[in-house]
Structure formats: C-alpha cells, structure tokens
Structure 1
Amino acid sequence: MAEVQGTDEVMGAGRVMGAEDVMGIEKLIEAVREGKAFEVPELLKPLGAAERKVALARLKELRTGVRSLEGIRPNDAVRVRRALYVAGAGCHTGAAAAASWLGARDLMPWRSEGAAMALRAVGDRTPEWLAEVAGRLAARPAVAEQSYGMIRGLVERSGCPTPATDGYVLAWSREIGTVRRHAERPAGPTLLERLRQDPQSPVLLVHALSMPETPEQLTWAVPDDSPEHWPTAVVALAGEGVLDRSGVLDAAVSRLLRGGRPRDLRFPMEVLRLVAPTPAEFLERVPDLVGMAADAPSTVAGYAQEALAGLAADGALPASALAEMTSAVLFRTEKKLVRAQLALVGKVLAREPGAADALLPAVAEVFGQEDTDLQGRALKLVGRHLPAADPSVRCELAERAGELSPTHRAEAARLFGDALGAPDLGPYEEILPPLPEPQPLAPPATTVEELVAELVVKRLSDDPVAFERALDGLVRLAHRDREAVAEAVRDAFPQPRWEQQTHYFTHETHGIHVVLAGLLGVLNPALVEFRRTAGHGADPCLHQALSGVLDARLWEAADLVGTDSLPFLLATPTGHTGAIDPLVLVERLRKYRDAGVEPAPADLAQALVRVLRAHPTAVRAAEEAAALETPAGRRLSAWLCRETVGATVRFLRRDEDKTLHRLWPMDRIVVELRESPVVRAEFPPAFEWLGGALEATPRPCHHWVEGRAQWPPVLPADREVLAACLLPTLAHGVDGDARGATEPLTALAEADGPVGHAVHVVLAFGLGFGDADDRLRAVDAVLVLAARGDLDARRLGTELARLVEDASVKPNRLADAARTAAATGAYGTVWAILAAMLPELLAAPKPVRGLGEVLAVAADCVERCGARDEVAGLDGLASGRASTQLVVQARRLLSALRQGAGHPLTETV
C-alpha cells in the first residue's frame, strides 16, 4: 500500500502518510488492544505528529469499546486501560488535553502503576509542556493522589517547582511514609533519613502542616522516640536548617488557629510542642495565640493559654493583650481554662496593680456564667483588687455584678453598696415555644414533568411529606395516563437497578422505586402477591412492624398503580404530621363510591389509622361516613367512635429475669399493645400487630435501624402507641454512640392522641442521649408538649429518677439537657421536672455521681422562677460539712427554695 487516501489521508509536515506510517499506527493499536503497555513507548518513537493524531482517534474508539470487556474479561479490561493510558499520553500534543487524558477516572491506574511507561512515552516533550501537565494533574485532588508517580516524574524531568497541593502531599506522605521493617530492626533508612534525602520535603512538609485534613500517616500514634514519628522528624529538619523554622511555626500556628477535628490538629499541635518556640517567637505571634485561646479546641486553647501565661509571667505580655485574652477565655465553657485564667489574672494584678482598669472588666465576664463556683472566684478576685480600679470602672463592675447568682448577692452588696446593679425582680413569666401550627400538605404534582422532578430527588424517603406527595402524584397521574408516566420514568431512570438485578426487591422494598418497577411491569407477580399479603414476620421488633406498614402500602400500590382499582390514595395525609382530616377522608370515600371502586385494603387501613378521632369534626364525619352506605364508610364511622389503640410499657424487675444486664435497659422493656378484635379481624396482616398480635415480650433489637423519618406518620393520631414503638430504639441508643435516634421525637410531640407513660419514658431516654443534637431534639419535644399542656412534669421527673438510678441516663447529660431547656425561659417547667426527680436520687445509699451538676441547674431554675417547694432529703445533704459541688449546690438550692428569690409567681405562659 503506497499511500492512504480518502478519510484516512492526513497531511503532516508537507507529505502524505505512507504505508510504513500506517503500519506503525496499526502496531501501536494492536499492542494497546492486547494490553501490552510495556511495548507502547517504543512503538510511539517512529510516529510523527500526524501519525499520532490518527492513532489518537483510534485510541478514543478503543477507550469507548473497552467498557464491554469489564463484565466479560475484567482482567483484560484492566490491561487495555493501562496501555491506553500510556499510548494516550504519547499521542496528545496539547498539554491540557494530555492532562485530561492522564487524569481521566477510567484510565488512571491504581496509585502510580504505569507511570514509568507513560513518562517514557512523553520523553520527547519540552520542559514547559511537562511542567504544565504536572501542574494540571496536581491541581486535581483525586488525580494527584492516584497519579503521584507520574506527577513526580514530570516535575523532576521538567525542573519545575514542587506542586504543593493537598492531593499530591497526600500521595507523597503515603509513599515516603511506607517502610518495611525487619523482625527487630528497620530494613531501611528511618523516616528522618528519607525526608532528608528527598529534595521535595521542605515544600511538602510545610504544606502538610497547613492542610485542612492531615494525611493519615502523619497522625499515627507512635512514641516521640520512634524512628517513624513525623513531628519529631519535622523538628529535627527544622533544627538542621533543612526546613525554615519560622515557616514551620507560622504554618503550625495558622492551622491551629483555623480549628477543625482533633485528628487533623494533632500533627501541627505536636510539631509546635516539640519545636518549643522561644518567648521571642511567642511574642511575635501573640494575636494568633489569643485567637487560639478563644476559639480552638480545649487542648489547643490550653497550650495557647500556657504560652501567653509564660509571657505574662515574664512581664512581656501587654495588659491590653492579656485583657483581650481574658475576655475570650472566660467566655468559654471549660471550667479548667476559666479557673486557670482567673489565677493568671490574679498573679498579674498582684504584681501590677495598675492593670486593674484593663483586667477587672474582663474578669466580670464570669459574673454571667452558670457555674456559681466560678462566679464566686471572679467576685473574690474583683473584690481583692477593686481599690486599685478607677471610679468609672467600679461603676461598670457594680452594674455587671447584677448578673450574679443570688448566692453571691450579699457579698456583692458588701463590695459595691448602693452602686450594685439591681436584679430584675418583676413577676416571673414562663416562656414556652409557640404552639406548632398545622401545615397542610401541598397538592400532588399535576404534570408528568413535575412528578419526575420529585421522583429523582435523592433520599426522598427522608422527608415524609415530600414522599407522600410524590407517591400520591405518581398514583394519580399513572391512573390518568399510564404510558406517558411510564415513558417519563424510563427516561429519568435509564438503567435502574431493579432491571439489572433479579432479586433487587426480594428482601427490601426500596421505597417508591418498587412502585416505579410495578408501573413498568418488571416485578415478579408471585413476589408482589406474597409481599402484599405478608404480615410482620416471625418475632419482629416494633420498628420492623412500623416499617412493615409502609412496605405493605408500597407493594399494594406497585400492584395496582396505573389501573382503575387505584385512582388516588386514601391515606395521603392532609397535614405535615401524617394525620388526615376526618371530613376529607369522608369526601375521598365518597369519590370512590361514585366511581364504583373498592378501597385497597392497606391504603384504607393506613387512612383509618391516620384519621384524627379527636378532631372537632369527627362526630359530623362519622355521621356522613355512615350515610355513604358502603362497607368502607361504615368502617370509618365505627372507627371514629372507637377509643384509641392504646399501649402500656413496663420494666422487668431484676427478680423476673436474672439474666438481664443492667447496662442494657432495652432488655428490660416490655411493650404491651391493647387487644383490639376489630383490628385483628378487619385490617390487613401488616396491621394486625396494632390489635395485639405482636406478643408482649422483651424484644431486643440490635440490627441496623433505617427509615426513622417514616415511623411517626404511620401513627400520627395515636401518640402513646407511637412512643411505645419508638421506645426500644431509644433505650438502645442511650447506651451507645449512635446518633439520630431521637429524630422522631419532634413529630411525636406534634402528633395527636393521649400522652401517657410511654411518651414520658421515651422523653426521659432522649434527654439522656450522649449526642448533643439528640438531646436537643428531646428538649424541643418536652417544651412543645409543655406548651400544648400535655406534659406531666412529675411523671417525667419520676421516670428520669428511675433511669438515673439504674445508670441508664448519666446525670451530666441530663444536666446539660435541663440547662438547655431552662435557658429558653422555661425555668418553671424544668424545675417541676427536677423537683419530682431529686427526692429519689437524694435518698440513694451512695451519692449519685454527677448529681451536683443537676442540683446547680435546679438551683438556677429556683432562683429565677421563685419556687418554694420542699425537696425530701435536701436538708440532710445541705447540712454536710464537705465542700464538694454536690454539697455546695445543695446548700444553694435549699437557700433559694427558702428565700423564694423574691419573685412574684405567675401562671405559665
């Protein structure tokens, strides 16, 4: 073949491509097709720019076709991709295009594999070209991490500066930190020696110090004297002059100042500690140290505080800087830091009385602290140095002293006399959150486009309101035009998992996707029939039963969607809690009657469970439902006149089951559902447990819990039953470190139905959770119930006492929750709860560890709301001679109860 013409004719360098050129291209493509990456660099050498351009087009075709190999011969696919990686690097002439090819996710080899061959393929490029490709690859974090060998080779060949990017440093630290060790001694050089030999270390180590997420190798917990301890190696290099000491200090301090996770701060913190800055170096960075003391995590703030204290002890820290630092530290919640700062200020004032005007106003920040012990320390410090203060400063301090607890009011009056800021002794007013307003559910989607937009939203099931709206819209539009909706679904989900995996729906329902699969006709009819009629299974836990209700509805909808048997859903809520207005349900049943359609069993059952039987229109709705003269109408009429399902909760005693471990309160909980023959006889299998079919035995649930957001809408009109169902999960979570278990409590508080034992036990567990966000949700639920007039504070206090005594709830967590609730203005409500809890705990044979914190919150509540109750056991504890927090706070609480804090009492607002 003398020459190639037509579409294969390519002009380059003033000539037409000849047969030899075409043969070279074919050899290259064949080597790539066979996955022989090691042959590619040599095959590229004789090819010119024109030939490489033709080869590149063929390579792109191969790249597209290699996907078909993945499912058939995955190992061959890997080899072909590696050869494509090398060949593409050599065929691209533009740096940007080459970087895009080398950084493509489907072509990137694992770690740096294939880099050596790719570097040989681009060996004829200019240094400028190599440098640009290296910079582009290094700028992309994921690419830089996996292409370290390639980037490093490009940098070394081009002579360009080391690319200090997060991804490159991450890969570099992994490569240089890997060491093979003999049974007793290192097989190679130590980390310090490897870093010293690497010319890129000075740049990359400083960048590593400032990274938001520290590379894993740098955070490994090894002793300081280990040959693989990164901070020690960094400090040694700084001492040798390999690293700029000032640059290391600046990078470490800057990173600590930005804050973050303790894991990511460990490396810069350890480096800073080992470098041991001199007083002069600390003095240059005073503003940064003050910022660290103010906002950094406790360990970092403590280090900054010590550094600044050292400067203050030497008289090198200006009074203005110390005052700024003091204001910041005293605003923190860590008592250890606050006490240390007060001690530091005391020492400075003893040496420099003239600094009183600058420092004492900062000390007054503590007057507003919740801890009365810290208030007392600050007041003593102010009193000791008050004579040295300017009259204007004294007036300011006297005004701030009005924030002190009544415990210290007498001492403050002695110090400031008539200038003391008078506390607000007006009528106490309880502040509770406004009553939640019902939020009606928005109408379902009216167009196919709007529906598809809702369906493709990720994690749709996390929002029950959006989920119910989308499900109802799907059913309505599919009934109107099944083919149009099915076509839109196929376009929106071109390769759904349910079509690729035969058993995708065998064990899981997968939310609304099962209804989409039913719409497309890809479900096994036998499986649909089985899942529609299945009950709650053998020996389920309560949350499985809750999830089973939703599953039954979805499988029923999957079977009937797009048919005349399901024009719309009866169970779609009318409000955000999942509840249904009785008259709305009557109207829906009327439309079903007029259309001659019998309600689907699960849909009707869920609608009945959701209807508000205590609604003002319930009686009228019952009459109108009976007048429909249909079986469904009669069922609704009877259901509206029936009492709630009901549930009871009890705890097994030790003598009932000796095997129960006290650290697992969930093992002792027994939930008993009231027998309901109507539910057992008329409701589908998935609902039978609501009639007492679920046996009343302790049923521990240790498996993964999902779908919490969908539980409350199942029982929005039976709050006590819902609480009983949530109880095992809450009891399990309070002992572990799981988060999010209290998410349903917000919906529980806003639901309808009576509030009894189960609701209060659930709230008690929620207030004792380890995670602050979980406790906050429980606090919100308590306050909402109080605002609605549904909270029994005495019952909640009794349950809390039981759980604290049983070590299921830790007092310090409860104190934090109570303090949070009280800070909203609900001091009277919180005190009512604590007043019911304290007598039992005060009567315990041994002092309850951490109870002092609870007493401090109780005392604060009493001082604010002016309660005058009697607490059994408090007199005996307060009369003790010890100076522990428990005794001190007991005295404070007793004093507050006897004085009534001088507040006139008002009713709860």
Structure 2
Amino acid sequence: MDHWSGTRKLIEARQADRLAEELKALDDEGRKEIAARLPALLKELRGRFDQWDDGLVDYAPVLRVAGAATFGGAAAVASWLYRRDFAPRWAGPDNDVDLVLAVLSGRPAAWRADLAERLVLRMRTADDRGMDLALALLRETGIEPPPHDPLVAGWLSRPPSGLGDDPLLDHLLPRLFEAEGAGRVLQWEREPHAGWLGALLRLAREGRVRRQALIEGCLRRFVRGGSAIDLRFFVRLHEALEVSPAEAAPHARDYLCLLPSSPGPVAEVAMKCLRACDDLAADDLAEAWDALLFRPERKFVRAGLSWLDRSVRHRPALAGAVAAPLARAFAADSTELQEKAVELALAHAGGMSEEGRATVREAIELLPPHLGRRAVKVFSGGTVAEAGLVFVPPPLPAAPERVHDLAPPIESAEEIARLMGQWARSWDESERLLAGFVALVSRERKGAAAALRPSLPDRDRFSWEYRQDSWDQADHWLQGAVRSLTGTAPTQQAWRRLMPRGGLAAPHRLLLHRTAEILRAVEEGTLPPLLLATPTHSTGHVAAAELVRRLEVIEAAGTKPLAADFQQALLRLPRIWDPEAAERAGRLTSAAGRILAEWTCPAAAAELAWTCTSWDCTHKGGEHDWHAHGNSHGVRLVPTATAVPTGLPLVDLMLSSPSYGSDAANLEWWPSMLPSHREVAAAHLMPYVLRRYYGETPVGPEQARALARAEGPAGAAFAVVLARVLGDPKMPESVDVLLEVAARDELPAAEIGRQAGLLAVSGEARLIDLVAALDAAARRGAHAHVWRIAAAALPELLPPPGGRPRHGLAGFVTLAITAAEWCGARGEIPEVRDMAARKGNSGLLREVRRLHDLLVSAPGVTGVTRVTGVTGVTGKEG
C-alpha cells in the first residue's frame, strides 16, 4: 500500500493537524516507508530556497511531526526534531509541541523516557527550542530529570501557574538553589504576590514547600557565591520570607561567613539576621563587627560601628571584644568614619583589657593627626611626642608613563575587513584602520577591493544611507569609500552633498573632513601612499621626524597629501621639535613641505566664564549669583579661545572659540586631536561637561586622563573637566587622574578648587561626592594638593550671612582640616575667619572655627593659596 503519496501531499500543503491524525493510524511498515523518504524530501524542499531565505521554516511543523511519528529510535527522533534547518535563530518558539506529543503518545513509556532524557541533555540555554517538549515529556513520563542546569533555568523561565501540582516541583526545586543560570532567569522577579516569588511564598504558607527548605536553599546559594545579579532573586526570596531570629539562629555561622566578601545585598541580609539574634556570643559579635569594618563600602562600616555601639551599651561586658574591630576602623577611607571609630574607642576604653588597649594604641598611627591626638591622650596617657608616635602622611605615588608608542597602521586586508564590521572602536584603533585602508588601496587597489567586498553590509541597507541628508559619523564615510572602491556605491560624489552644513563641533567637523576626503580621493584615484596624521604616540602626537619621513614618501611618489589630513598632522606635532627633524623638513620641496618647515606651534589662549541664563538668577554686585537657588539649568559654561591665524582653515577652526555641536560624537577622540594644546582641547569639551541630557555621551575620566597627558598649560577648562569627573560618583577612576597630574607637579589645584566650588553651588556636583573623591586622593598622598583645592573652594562654598549651607558642607570643612593638618598649612582665609565669628553652635560652625584656629595657630610650613577673580582664569600657551 502506498502511504507516501498521501503523506507527501499533506506535507506540501503544510497541514500538520491532518498529518498527525493520518500518521497515528499507520502500521510499522508504513512508518518505515515514510521515514525512509523524509530525508530526500527535506533535501528537495531545501533546494527551493537560497541560504538566506527562511521559507523552509514554514515546513518545519509538518516535517517535525512526520519524523517524530515515523523514525524508530529515540536518538533519531531527537536529531530530526531539532535540525538547524527547522529552527533558525529568528524563527521564534515551537508551535507544534502538542502535535508532536500526540504522535508520540503511542510509543512505549521507556522509549518516551529515553527521548525525554536525550532532549534534556541537548539543552544549552533556558530558551532552547526543545525546552517545552522536554518539560512536557518529563511531566508525562514521571521520571527523575537528569541533572542539567539549563533544564532548571528553562523550567524557571516558564510561568509558575499550577506550580503546586507540577510533577517536576519536587525534583527541580532543590536544584533551583544550585543550578548555574537560575538566578539570572529570575533576576527581575520582585513582586511577592506574583511570579515565581509569589508562587514559592504561597506554597510555603500552604505547607506544600517547607519554609526551612527555602531558607536553607537561599543560604546554600549565598555561600556558593556569585555576582549580585546571580543572587538578586535569592536575596528577595530571603527578605520576603521574613526570617525570624529563631529561624536564623541555627545558621549564625553561615551568616557570619557571608559578611566579609559577599555582594552588598547578600551581606546586608546576613547583617540584618545577625543583628536580630540577641544571644550571639561575644566572639561571634566581634567577628561580625570585624567583617563589616573590613568591607570597602562605607554604609557597612557605618552600620558596623552603630551595631557595635548599640550592643556594648546594652551589654557592657562586650567592651572587651571591641578593640580589634575599632582598630580596623581606624584605617577607614573616610575621616567621618575614623572620627566615629575614635569616639567609640574613647567611650568604651574603660571596659577594654590591657591587651585590647594595646591593639588600639598600635592603630593610632593610621589616624589623621587631630584624631590621633585625641586617642593618644586616653590610650597612651600623654602627648603624641611622649607616645613616640609620628603621623607620616602617605607618599604621592609615582606618575605612570606619560606616553607610549602606538602600533603601526594595519597592513592586513583581513584585519581591515574585520575591523570594518565592528561598531565600536577606540580612537587609536580607528586611526590605524584609516591609515591601513589608505595604504592598502594605494598599494594594491584591485586586491583591496576583492578583500573588502565581503565585509560590506547589505546593499539595500547602505543604499538607504545614501538617501540621507548628511553623514555625521566617520564610519559612514569610510563605508562609502569602500563602496566606491568596490563599485557598489549607489551614487558617486557623495562628498558633494552629504557633508553636514552646520551644528557640528570643530573636532567632529575636522574628523568628518578627514574621512570625507578619503572617499573623494578613492573616487578620483588621488589617494597618497599614506596618511600624515596617524599618531605615533598614545597622546595623539605625531613625531616630527616621522611626519617629515611621511612627506618625503609622498613627494617621492609624486602625489599630494590630503588637505584635512595634513592640517590634523600639524596640530599633532609636539611643541618642541628635535633639531634633526627640523633640518630634514627644510629640504622638502612641496608646498606642504615648505609649510611644515616653517611651522611653529601656534600660540593660543583659552578663557572660561560661568554665566546665568535662567530668568530666576539673582544678581549680586553686578555679577550673577546662583548660590541661592542652585538651578543648574540656568547656568552654563562659556569657553572662548583665541590664536594667531595660520591661514589654514581647519587649524584655525580648531584653535578658535568652541561651539556646541548637536551630536557629541567621538568625544574620546578629541583630546588626541589637539595633544599640544591641552587647554584648547579642554575648552572644546566644555559644552558637554555639565549635566547631560539622557543618552548624551558624558565627558569622563578617559578624556580627563588624555588631557592630563597632553602638552600645554592647564587652566580653568582642564580644571572644570577634572573637577566635574571628581564630583561624579560613577567615575571613581578620576582620583587616579588627579594623582597622576599631581605627581607630575602640573595640577592647577587652586583653579580646580574654585571650579569645584562653582560646580557645587550651581547644582552640577554634590559636595558629598566631591568629599569622597578628594578624601580618597588625600589618603593616597595628595594631601597638600587636596588642601589647596579645598582652600580655593571654601570662599565659593561658604554661605553668606543668613544663607543656607549646602548639604555636605560640614564634611567638606572636616576634609579641609584633615588635609591642612597633614601638610601643615597656615594662613588666614578671610571667608573662613568671617564665618567663624558668626553666632551659633551648629556642627558646621564648630568645624569652621576649628579650621580657622588651625590656620591662625603657630606658623606652619605651607601658606594658603588663593584664587581671585569671578569669571575665570586664562590658560595662555606660549
């Protein structure tokens, strides 16, 4: 009997429902016949579509049903069901699971169990195509699932409806706390009345799942470790269970183990449970306090000190256990926390043993001088000198290498093709790519075209790019150059109409001119053998000798350099040439060579002013005053730059007053475009330094570090960049930049202080964030620089009589006191003197008076640096 013809018709018609009914009625001979014919039919169907066409996916349900019903072995069925032809990545979830289960229902139970295990072990991720079928077969057969983490993740990625009746619950719930990937699947679960979190809590209330099993499972998962994301769900589950002290007490040792190094949310859970246990032994409490005071997060140190103080007040006998934890807190990275630790040590000194007092005494040298003196009186019974203590500030770390050589331009066509397909590249890698492309095309145009053609995006997509009004990304122009090279560009001379007309910042415009002229030269066949502006050093500089050599190569080839490339190369020359390079430049004969031979670094000046643009800005003495309202939207920085004209339009554009561009593209590139004019480069970044709009690229530590390593004077513009990143808690690496500039003795500390004060009063930075960054810098050796910053900031920060002080100002004054003590600063600051004379006894006034008394005490080593003027300073380049 011919079973195949009817089956084929149903497959061709894609009628999976009817096919399933027909196949269930077949005998063994009919199933064998169809199983033998299916591979040839699949090959025939595949031949109807090219490799990029997903037409075969439409046949997947009928083909899967046919194979599941007719192939004899479980291994053959598993392989057939999840052939790559049937399940490309974009095809979505299977919609034929019920039909496959229906045609499998007549198979023996052991056979279906074998298939279930095979499908489970094929799973690699929670959303693998076979997951729904594997889960369904496991539920039908009732077998214990094989241990496989992706299965647990897949089970958890499905809604937990009817979870209490799920046959898999008892098997997979214990694995929830052990399987890798389980926490990431559930990381967004937060509602205790819905989803898996709600379902588990409900089952615990009903007794279907033991509460203790969930608590112990969370603890096991915490002890196994993992990232905060991996553990987020288990933290929420533990919190939702509201673990009582009686439930937590048997697991006190586990909670103690979590305190020192677990992710913050886990440590917080452990601390909460331990604090609720009133009968912890003294040794356990000391271990908990020591662990919390060891952590780098200030909130845990603060919480540990509070817990310690509360416990000793309730149980005075515990005073004997506090010495070691408090001594550890003396090394905290915050003066506020050190002060709290000293206060507690003094308060509980009477209950300490002699051994404990000795432990505290040995740690006193970790404190700032003013706190050390307080501690010495109690724990040594005398003065600092009598105790033999010396408060030595930490040394400033050595500055890292200012510059290193960059890798040469890319030579491999394969490497150029690979980089062409990447969306994100560093500026130096992009420069190497541009240089490599030009050299390759100039050297071997036909070979370059053949090598780069496969890297091009879809023709239709890039045709759409040619219909745009302008190309405002460098990558557009480079892709256009490759299109022109390979003869696949929809139109020619795109450079005539696609260059943006306005709304671009000068560095962005120079970059677009450089890439656009490469496209034009490719079309016109005028590419030089190499580019001139490719940096030789990590600062963006081009060594003078190398630039001369490149011009020699171009002259020898009888070609001309690209205009924008040449002007960028001039801007990248070091401020001082080596004599040999200057002599060789004098022998160049081209027009570009003569310009280079006569080139000297242009003198430029940058100025910066704060202006108030909001209607609610008040005026004080004819000047804008935003101290009262702190409205950052009404305040902006206005940079200006001036230079002697050179007659080269792009050079003069780069050295002129910066303007805001509508698209702050390639900001990480900008400092490398003016490596010999640090202050002008910083001025170009000014419009993007203050509070950004959503999605706008921020000026960050990368730009600050690049400016730090550039040449030229550092003035107000560089100071604003560094002050702004120091005031951003998301940019802790900015402290490293400050230390690097300080180590080179190039830090404009007073100007940074003044600008930091203006950022704070304008609402652009929070004082608590500035204090944290400057405190960290002082503790790493920059105490003298931090003092000069603080001294210059205080006149801007201290409120006028009757004015309301900004949040965090008392902490800033405390930081100033600490830094002044470390470096022995002396010299009266009028604004501090005037505020110290005001009536009142607030915490801020007490700190201001303490600072004033320190500054006017016995003569010291370092005078106070003052910055005068209102609108800014000038960074002039010689």
TM over 0.5: yes
The correspondence of residues 198-597 of structure 1 with structure 2, limited to 5 A, is 198-208=166-176, 214=183, 219=188, 222=191, 226=193, 228=194, 230-256=196-222, 267-296=233-262, 300-311=266-277, 313=278, 315=279, 317-332=280-295, 337-346=300-309, 348-349=311-312, 356-383=319-346, 385-417=348-380, 422-425=388-391, 431-434=396-399, 436-446=401-411, 448=413, 451-452=415-416, 455=419, 458-459=422-423, 462-490=425-453, 493=455, 496-498=457-459, 501-504=462-465, 507=471, 508-510=473-475, 512-524=478-490, 526-530=492-496, 536-538=500-502, 540-542=503-505, 545-561=506-522, 563=525, 565-597=527-559
Q: For the Cα contact (< 8 Å) 1:235–1:275, is it kept in 2?
A: yes
Shift of 1:99: 4.0
Number of matched residues?
837
Q: CA offsets, 1:434-492, max 9 Å, x none?
A: 2534312333345556x458646845x5222233233323322332322333333345x
State the partner residue of 1:649: 608
Q: For the Cα contact (< 8 Å) 1:444–1:472, is it kept in 2?
A: yes
1:603 corresponds to 2:565: yes
State the partner residue of 2:596: 636
Shift of 1:801: 1.4
1:722 corresponds to 2:681: yes
State the partner residue of 1:151: 134
Q: 1:902 to 1:413 in 2, by over 3 A?
A: farther
Q: 1:207 to 1:862 in 2, by over 3 A?
A: farther
Q: 1:630 to 1:371 in 2, by over 3 A?
A: closer
Q: For the Cα contact (< 8 Å) 2:603–2:643, is it kept in 1?
A: no
Shift of 1:342: 3.6
Letter in 2 for 1:801: G
Shift of 1:841: 0.8
Shift of 1:728: 1.8
Over aligned residue pairs, what C-alpha RMSD do you find? 4.1
State the partner residue of 2:143: 160
Q: CA offsets, 1:131-189, max 9 Å, x none?
A: 45444544535464654432222112322225786655565556435xxxxxxxxxxxx
Letter in 1 for 2:449: A
1:852 corresponds to 2:839: no
The CA distance in 2 between the partners of 1:91 and 1:454, in whole Å, is 46
The CA distance in 1 between the partners of 2:50 and 2:221, in whole Å, is 47
1:743 corresponds to 2:668: no
Q: CA offsets, 1:587-630, max 9 Å, x none?
A: 22222222221112222222222222x1232x765564344232
Q: For the Cα contact (< 8 Å) 1:486–1:520, is it kept in 2?
A: yes
User: 3-state DSSP class of the match of 1:309?
Assistant: helix
State the partner residue of 1:801: 757
The CA distance in 2 between the partners of 1:711 and 1:666, in whole Å, is 27
Relative to the length of structure 1, the TM-score reads 0.81
The CA distance in 2 between the partners of 1:888 and 1:868, in whole Å, is 18
Q: CA offsets, 1:246-295, max 9 Å, x none?
A: 32112222344567777765543343234344444323212321233334
Q: For the Cα contact (< 8 Å) 1:720–1:755, is it kept in 2?
A: yes
User: 3-state DSSP class of the match of 2:406?
Assistant: coil
State the partner residue of 2:870: none
Shift of 1:746: 1.9
The CA distance in 1 between the partners of 2:50 and 2:460, in whole Å, is 18
State the partner residue of 1:113: 95
The CA distance in 2 between the partners of 1:377 and 1:652, in whole Å, is 41
The CA distance in 2 between the partners of 1:781 and 1:376, in whole Å, is 28
State the partner residue of 1:832: 788
Q: 1:217 to 1:343 in 2, by over 3 A?
A: closer
Q: For the Cα contact (< 8 Å) 2:152–2:182, is it kept in 1?
A: no
Letter in 2 for 1:806: S
The CA distance in 2 between the partners of 1:865 and 1:129, in whole Å, is 81
Q: 1:415 to 1:566 in 2, by over 3 A?
A: same
State the partner residue of 2:875: none
Letter in 1 for 2:485: L
State the partner residue of 2:13: 34
Q: For the Cα contact (< 8 Å) 2:153–2:181, is it kept in 1?
A: no
The CA distance in 2 between the partners of 1:447 and 1:855, in whole Å, is 58
Q: 1:881 to 1:244 in 2, by over 3 A?
A: farther
User: 3-state DSSP class of the match of 2:143?
Assistant: coil
State the partner residue of 1:776: 733
Q: 1:734 to 1:900 in 2, by over 3 A?
A: farther
Structure 1 range deviating more: 117-126 or 377-386: 377-386
The CA distance in 1 between the partners of 2:10 and 2:288, in whole Å, is 69
The CA distance in 2 between the partners of 1:636 and 1:205, in whole Å, is 74
Q: 1:171 to 1:354 in 2, by over 3 A?
A: same
Letter in 2 for 1:241: G
Q: 1:791 to 1:309 in 2, by over 3 A?
A: closer
Q: For the Cα contact (< 8 Å) 1:514–1:554, is it kept in 2?
A: no
Q: 1:253 to 1:62 in 2, by over 3 A?
A: farther
Q: For the Cα contact (< 8 Å) 1:323–1:358, is it kept in 2?
A: yes
State the partner residue of 1:195: 163
Q: 5+ residue gaps in structure 1?
A: 1-19, 178-190
Q: 1:652 to 1:903 in 2, by over 3 A?
A: closer
The CA distance in 2 between the partners of 1:786 and 1:596, in whole Å, is 48
Letter in 2 for 1:749: A
State the partner residue of 1:690: 654
State the partner residue of 2:60: 81
Q: CA offsets, 1:672-716, max 9 Å, x none?
A: 44376544xx446xx774365x8x76x474x6x543333333222
Q: 1:414 to 1:255 in 2, by over 3 A?
A: same
Q: CA offsets, 1:628-676, max 9 Å, x none?
A: 23211122234x2252455443333347998999755597333444376
State the partner residue of 2:39: 57
Q: 1:863 to 1:31 in 2, by over 3 A?
A: farther
Report sequence identity in percent: 28
User: 3-state DSSP class of the match of 2:164?
Assistant: helix
Shift of 1:77: 5.4
Letter in 2 for 1:107: F
State the partner residue of 2:721: 762
Q: For the Cα contact (< 8 Å) 1:56–1:91, is it kept in 2?
A: no
Q: For the Cα contact (< 8 Å) 1:446–1:477, is it kept in 2?
A: yes
Relative to the length of structure 2, the TM-score reads 0.83
The CA distance in 2 between the partners of 1:327 and 1:455, in whole Å, is 50
Letter in 1 for 2:247: E
Shift of 1:326: 0.9
Q: 1:792 to 1:68 in 2, by over 3 A?
A: same
Letter in 1 for 2:758: R
The CA distance in 1 between the partners of 2:434 and 2:406, in whole Å, is 13
User: 3-state DSSP class of the match of 2:638?
Assistant: strand
The CA distance in 2 between the partners of 1:143 and 1:378, in whole Å, is 49
Q: For the Cα contact (< 8 Å) 1:323–1:362, is it kept in 2?
A: yes
The CA distance in 1 between the partners of 2:492 and 2:167, in whole Å, is 68
Letter in 2 for 1:154: L
Letter in 1 for 2:591: P
Q: 5+ residue gaps in structure 2?
A: 619-625, 866-878
Letter in 1 for 2:551: L
User: 3-state DSSP class of the match of 1:668?
Assistant: strand
Q: 1:32 to 1:474 in 2, by over 3 A?
A: same
